Structure 1
Amino acid sequence: MWSVGLRLSAARCAACLSVLDGEERARSDRFLRAEDRDRFVASHAALRLVLAGFLDADARALAFSTSMTGKPELAGPEVGRLRFNLSHSGGHALVAVSTTARIGVDVEVPRPMPDALRIARAHFHPREVAALAACGRAVEAAFFACWTGKEAFVKAVGAGLSMPLDGFAVAIPPAPPAILEIGGLRAPAAGWTLATLAPAPGLPGAVAIEAPCAACALRRLRPDWADRLPGP
């Protein structure tokens, strides 16, 4: 996993835009706020930079497609070589890469959640709701740990909105991160690793990997990472 800072100068944002393809540029143009557009452009340029480093390729030349459920995948000459996922929130992004297993990542800027238990009761697994209800004053932090873990798993599976959030359960802090059950069964959950990430102080994140006891490392792109992008 790579933690990426997305607050860039105008010149670096322009460098990021120059490596994106037409589809990515069209998506960036649909953002109403310049701040959101810049973060989209920067996060997708960072994804290209990380993947290009793995593949010894030109970041501009990478091609992407989407699965039946909308999950991005490599296309063209690099098809099938890597599994990857991207998440960004606020001024931070996380890029996750695996050479062998499905992988998903999520990061969320925390915000006040006075209705955390109400949201959990409406959408989460009963085991998670019970654990969150026992967290007392720590319920908001535990909620975001639960949320990022669940989002990371859903993104790794690639099921999108078709997977109900109450159909599987993750552990709630202070318990160690883990996927506890999937579809009411513990056996499938044992084939997954769930790990928490802290890309920045107070910023919760999580990664889900379809492999038992998988090792994962969090790295950080240097603040001047956009200067390493290939020129137009």
Structure 2
Amino acid sequence: MTIPPVRTLPPTCWARTPAELWEVLRDDLETCGVGLVQASLRQWRLNRPDEDRLRRLLGRDLTRYQATDNETVRERFAASRALLRCAVGAAVGMAPEHVEIGYHLSGRPFVRGCDQVDISLSHTAHLLFVGVTSLGRIGVDAESADRAPSVAELDRHICTPSELRAMDGIPPEGYEALVLQRWILKEAYSKALGQGLHFPFTEFGFEVRGGLARLCHKDGARVEDPTWTFHNLPRTDGHQAAVALQDLRAGHVGDTRVGTAVDLRTARALWGDRTA
């Protein structure tokens, strides 16, 4: 079966607070099959929901939140999970307090009872990033651009020999940025697969051309799988970000909103019309 090319990703929605809902996110899902949302942790501090609202937004994650001693980590955890539930709520047409988030053994989140969407979450010191799709699988990752020098020190643990050869001779600052770029792409891909760091980054590589990247084998040969596309997003708020998207298209759901599975005609035949 020939898979049609994936549409260009929609612009990232910026949420002023993780407690917002976004009509634009629903529009992006309906037209592109993908929705991307970012929020600033600094803005969250200014618009933090009250404790009762926060408890409702965290749902089953409340226990983990309460068990975290470090205040900074607690704050980032609360903001990221609240943002995730609000984004999913906007995507499926449900109040965020009613969204149930589960976690696979790898830690990858999923929406309980809503197989029509796939989700991914990334958060750094000051940036929260959520991806939602109805096309197949999605993985997102974001890192502070300031991390480039320290990440580049691990280049031989991150890049394949082919990638290292392609970057040979590039001045230090540019080299560091390219290593960070590949780190983020590989994180996004691993998240989409649900593998996390269990998938050795030196076993696969990327050929980067502007905002797009192509998956490659360890030796540099391209992987011919048209279902996957990889995107480098424009730098925002001092961060670099990437999206890995597997377009299964056959499973694309145009309307991602939740609803009932009850067939009304069957129900009326069994129980009659009791609306009178």
TM-score range, shorter chain: 0.7 to 0.9
Deviates more, 1:146-155 or 1:195-204: 195-204
> What's 1:169 paired with?
205
Instruction: Work out the CA distance in 2 between the residues paired with 1:58 and 1:154.
Output: 30
Instruction: Work out the CA distance in 2 between the residues paired with 1:117 and 1:109.
Output: 13
Instruction: Work out the CA distance in 2 between the residues paired with 1:121 and 1:191.
Output: 28
Structure 1 residue 146 and structure 2 residue 182: aligned? yes
Structure 1 residue 53 and structure 2 residue 126: aligned? no
Work out whether residues 108 and 204 of structure 1, in 8 Å CA contact, stay in contact via their aligned partners in 2. Answer: yes
Structure 1 52/141 Cα, relative in aligned 2: closer, same or farther at 3 Å?
Answer: same
Instruction: Work out the CA distance in 1 between the residues paired with 2:129 and 2:225.
Output: 24
Structure 1 182/60 Cα, relative in aligned 2: closer, same or farther at 3 Å?
Answer: farther
TM-score (norm 1): 0.79
Structure 1 129/26 Cα, relative in aligned 2: closer, same or farther at 3 Å?
Answer: farther
Structure 1 199/176 Cα, relative in aligned 2: closer, same or farther at 3 Å?
Answer: closer
Residue number among 72, 94, 110 corresponding to 2:109 in the alignment: 72
- 1:93 deviates by 0.9
Q: How many aligned residue pairs are there? A: 208
Unaligned runs of 5+ in 2: 1-35, 249-276
Work out whether residues 182 and 189 of structure 1, in 8 Å CA contact, stay in contact via their aligned partners in 2. Answer: no
1:65-112 CA-partner distances (Å, limit 9, x unpaired): 22343321111xx33121010101011111101002100000011335
Report the AA paired with residue 139 of structure 1.
Y
Tell me: higher relative CO, structure 1 or 2? Use CA pairs within 8 A at least 6 residues apart: 1
Report the AA paired with residue 35 of structure 1.
T
SS in 2 for 1:87: strand
- 1:167 deviates by 1.5
Instruction: Work out the CA distance in 2 between the residues paired with 1:19 and 1:176.
Output: 34
> What's 2:38 paired with?
3
Instruction: Work out the CA distance in 2 between the residues paired with 1:17 and 1:170.
Output: 41
> What's 1:193 paired with?
229
TM-score (norm 2): 0.67
Structure 1 residue 29 and structure 2 residue 66: aligned? yes
- 1:37 deviates by 1.0
SS in 2 for 1:79: coil
Deviates more, 1:96-105 or 1:158-167: 158-167
- 1:58 deviates by 1.4
1:132-161 CA-partner distances (Å, limit 9, x unpaired): 333213112112111111100000111123
SS in 2 for 1:12: coil
Work out whether residues 204 and 215 of structure 2, in 8 Å CA contact, stay in contact via their aligned partners in 1. Answer: yes
> What's 1:44 paired with?
81
Report the AA paired with residue 64 of structure 1.
I
- 1:188 deviates by 4.3
> What's 2:118 paired with?
83
Structure 1 residue 124 and structure 2 residue 159: aligned? yes
- 1:202 deviates by 2.9
SS in 1 for 2:144: coil
Structure 1 residue 107 and structure 2 residue 145: aligned? no
Work out whether residues 117 and 129 of structure 1, in 8 Å CA contact, stay in contact via their aligned partners in 2. Answer: no
Work out whether residues 65 and 74 of structure 1, in 8 Å CA contact, stay in contact via their aligned partners in 2. Answer: yes
Instruction: Work out the CA distance in 2 between the residues paired with 1:198 and 1:18.
Output: 34
Structure 1 71/165 Cα, relative in aligned 2: closer, same or farther at 3 Å?
Answer: same
Unaligned runs of 5+ in 1: 213-232
1:11-39 CA-partner distances (Å, limit 9, x unpaired): 615344431113x1222234332122111
